[in-house]
């Protein structure tokens, strides 16, 4: 189904409510959309295509919105298959359609579709084409989050086609009109950004710097179109996320526990923090909650507490995954504290600390709380001392 956005701009994407894991990693309990847009006119332009599972639906949507015409151009923002998998089918259906790429995306396109025959328009950063009275300018945004990413800006309408930037998980689509509506989406927008793009904060800031023009609406490749006020709110969040600035001076606790003793210690710490005025500290069992939710909380909060059992002389497996994801996402500027447990040779705290030391501007708060098997009076005393240190640091740095 097509949806009209402006007089001549249509949404022709698809909602995927069947998929369990986006990129075969990230749970999407509310699904995800693969957005594509059509700018109607004498020379219709399509912006990106759809995932391979939706080629049929995408072609139908495009045909409906084209109303008997053929597209003159397809603009390719980047070649990740959730948006590019239907290029060949679209090109075969409309052989006269020119494909607008940059030099890098052309190479990637040839990698995915070695036998695709089409006329290419290869553009450089800052180039523009004029179609149906619209000037479409190309703004390269490398590594947001693939190397060849480019935004397209419609100068007449103030529409930014932002590729995967400003996208969100969820199959609702539609239009997000104001700041309050964006706030309602922000937890999934945060989880999407931090996990998919989060590693490339410097590149996102570079790209945001290039977006100096008037924006009336942003058309991302996942989730709703953001109107001016919603985009302003989203941009505020993006600047924080991309610069690794915590949204809140507060803490998040993640624990790994098989038999419940480390859980008990983590919960005690959460209560001790609340007693010291640090309330609303989310607590996660790393075996239950997918790391993507915890990564999002690590971007949100200034202080991160990791509590793990020692497991085969290492860190418990799901905690090991979380720690390596924290490091892979380059979440700099956070304060870490640790709790370790082991029945014979506790060393998970030391190992977790070594891992997160690889991050930039990392610091540590309090002493690692180390205990054997089950928490005892001295463990609770050490957890109280850790809570004192975290609470003081949160208040000082808040």
Write down the number of H helices and E strands in the chain.
Answer: 12, 25
E strand or H helix that includes residue 205? helix 201-210
Residues in 147-206 that interact with ligand FMN by CB under 6 A: none
Binding of residue 258 to ligand FMN (CB under 6 A): yes
Distance CA 183, CA 4 (A): 24
Residue from 21, 122, 313, 381 touching ligand FMN (CB under 6 A): that is 313
Distance CA 328, CA 339 (A): 22
Tokens of 179: 């700041």
Own/partner pairs, 276-280, CB within 8 angstroms, 24+ separation = 276/387, 276/388, 276/391, 277/391, 277/395, 278/250, 278/251, 278/387, 278/390, 278/391, 278/394, 280/250
* x/- letters, 252..291, toward Fe ion (CB under 5 A): ----------------------------------------
Residue from 164, 188, 297, 325 touching Fe ion (CB under 5 A): that is 164
Q: Which listed option, Fe ion, ligand FMN, none, makes contact with residue 20 (CB within 5 to 8 Å by class)?
A: none
Nearest of 258, 256, 255, 236 to residue 247 by alpha carbon: 236
Distance CA 202, CA 206 (A): 6
Nearest of 256, 235, 215 to residue 352 by alpha carbon: 256
Q: What sign does the CA torsion over 188, 54, 174, 160 have?
A: positive
Of the pair 80, 340, the CB lying nearest Fe ion is at 80
Q: Which listed option, ligand FMN, Fe ion, none, makes contact with residue 364 (CB within 5 to 8 Å by class)?
A: none
Of the pair 93, 350, the CB lying nearest ligand FMN is at 350
Binding of residue 311 to ligand FMN (CB under 6 A): yes
Estimate the crossing angle of helix 317-328 against helix 348-356, to 10 degrees: 20
Q: Which residue is nearest to ligand FMN (CB)?
A: 342
Pairing of strands 335-342, 363-364: parallel
Binding of residue 16 to Fe ion (CB under 5 A): no
Binding of residue 286 to ligand FMN (CB under 6 A): no
Binding of residue 288 to ligand FMN (CB under 6 A): no
Binding of residue 49 to ligand FMN (CB under 6 A): no
Q: What is the dihedral of CA 324, 326, 329, 333, to 10 degrees?
A: -140
Q: Which listed option, Fe ion, ligand FMN, none, makes contact with residue 212 (CB within 5 to 8 Å by class)?
A: none
Binding of residue 267 to ligand FMN (CB under 6 A): no
Q: How far is the CB of 369 from ligand FMN (least distance, A)?
A: 13
Residue from 187, 287, 321, 373 touching ligand FMN (CB under 6 A): that is 373
Binding of residue 287 to ligand FMN (CB under 6 A): no
State the number of binding residues for ligand FMN (CB under 6 A): 19
Q: How far is the CB of 342 from Fe ion (least distance, A)?
A: 41
Of the pair 72, 221, the CB lying nearest Fe ion is at 221
Residues 6+ apart with CB under 8 A from 105: 76, 78, 79, 148, 150
Binding of residue 246 to ligand FMN (CB under 6 A): no
Concatenated DSSP letters of 77-111:
S---HHHHTTHHHHHHHSTT-EEEEEHHHHHHHHH
Binding of residue 51 to Fe ion (CB under 5 A): no
Binding of residue 346 to ligand FMN (CB under 6 A): yes
Positions that interact with Fe ion (CB under 5 A): 80, 82, 164, 221
Residues within the interface to ligand FMN (CB under 6 A): 257-263, 309-313, 341-346, 373
């Amino acid at each position: 189904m097509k949806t009209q956005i402006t007089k001549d701009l249509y949404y022709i994407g698809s909602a995927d409510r069947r998929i369990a894991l986006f990129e075969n990693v990230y749970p999407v309990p509310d699904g995800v959309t693969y957005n594509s847009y059509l700018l109607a006119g004498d020379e219709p332009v399509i912006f990106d295509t759809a995932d391979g599972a939706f080629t049929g639906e995408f072609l139908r949507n495009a045909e409906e919105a084209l109303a008997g015409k053929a597209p003159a151009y397809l603009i390719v923002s980047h070649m990740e298959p959730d948006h590019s998998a239907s290029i060949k089918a679209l090109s075969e259906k409309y052989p006269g359609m020119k494909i607008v790429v940059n030099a890098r995306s052309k190479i990637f396109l040839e990698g995915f579709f070695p036998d695709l025959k089409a006329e290419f328009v290869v553009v450089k950063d800052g180039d523009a084409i004029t179609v149906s009275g619209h000037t479409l300018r190309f703004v390269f945004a490398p590594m947001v989050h693939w190397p060849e990413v480019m935004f397209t800006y419609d100068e007449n309408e103030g529409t930014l086609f932002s590729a995967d930037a400003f996208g969100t998980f969820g199959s609702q689509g539609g239009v997000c009109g104001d700041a309050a509506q964006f706030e309602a989406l922000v937890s999934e927008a945060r989880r999407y950004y931090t996990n998919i793009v989060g590693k490339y904060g410097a590149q996102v800031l570079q790209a945001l710097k290039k977006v100096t023009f008037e924006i009336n609406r942003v058309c991302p490749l996942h989730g709703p179109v953001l109107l001016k006020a919603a985009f302003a709110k989203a941009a505020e969040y993006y600047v924080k996320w991309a610069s690794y600035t915590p949204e809140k001076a507060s803490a998040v606790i993640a624990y790994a526990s098989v038999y419940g003793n480390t859980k008990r210690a983590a919960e005690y710490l959460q209560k001790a923090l609340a007693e010291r005025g640090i309330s609303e500290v989310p607590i996660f069992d790393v075996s239950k909650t997918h790391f993507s939710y915890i990564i999002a909380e690590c971007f949100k909060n200034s202080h991160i507490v990791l509590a793990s059992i020692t497991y085969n002389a290492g860190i418990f497996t799901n905690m090991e995954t979380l720690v390596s994801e924290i490091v892979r996402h380059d979440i700099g500027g956070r304060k870490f504290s640790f709790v370790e447990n082991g029945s014979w040779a506790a060393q998970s705290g030391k190992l977790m600390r070594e891992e997160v030391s690889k991050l930039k501007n990392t610091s540590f708060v309090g002493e690692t709380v180390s205990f054997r098997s089950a928490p005892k009076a001295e463990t609770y005393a050490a957890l109280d001392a850790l809570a004192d240190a975290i609470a003081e640091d949160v208040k000082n740095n808040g």
